[in-house]
């Protein structure tokens, strides 16, 4: 599927693993059109709320904050989802 979430998930997971090789990433499949990211059980991004997907740099920054014990904030910046014309 050109607009499936799998490619976006793989892209983000790869970027996270490159920056933080020891981090655990757990994908969970759903059928609602949601693409959500939790860090330590806290929701930090929701495609349903933002209408797109997170930028790698924003996700990496959220992970950095969590690892440093800083408070997590929701990622509100998002890139648009795939559109086929």
Residue 28's pLDDT is what?
Answer: 80
Domain 5-79 top-level CATH class: alpha beta
Q: pTM value?
A: 0.85
Residues 69, 56, 46: CA angle, nearest 5 degrees: 75
Looking at residue 43, its pLDDT comes to 94
| pLDDT reported for residue 33 | 73
Residues 6+ apart with CB under 8 A from 40: 66, 72
As a whole number, the mean pLDDT across the chain is 88
Token pair for residue 44? 């930090």
**pLDDT surpasses 50 at 73:** yes
Counting runs of H as helices and runs of E as strands, what totals does the chain give?
A: 3, 2
* pLDDT at residue 63 is higher than 90: yes
Domain boundaries, the chain: 5-79
Residue carrying structure tokens 């890139």: 79
Higher pLDDT: 64 or 29? It is 64
Task: Summarize the confidence of residues 40-47 as an average pLDDT.
Answer: 93
């Amino acid at each position: 599927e050109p607009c499936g979430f799998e490619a976006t998930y793989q892209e983000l997971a790869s970027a996270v693993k490159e920056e933080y090789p020891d981090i655990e990433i757990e994908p969970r499949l759903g059928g609602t059109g949601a693409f959500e990211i939790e860090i330590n059980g806290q929701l930090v991004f929701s495609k349903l709320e933002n209408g797109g997907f997170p930028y790698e740099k924003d996700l990496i920054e959220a992970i950095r904050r969590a690892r440093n014990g800083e408070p997590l904030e929701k990622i509100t910046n998002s890139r648009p989802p795939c559109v086929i014309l």
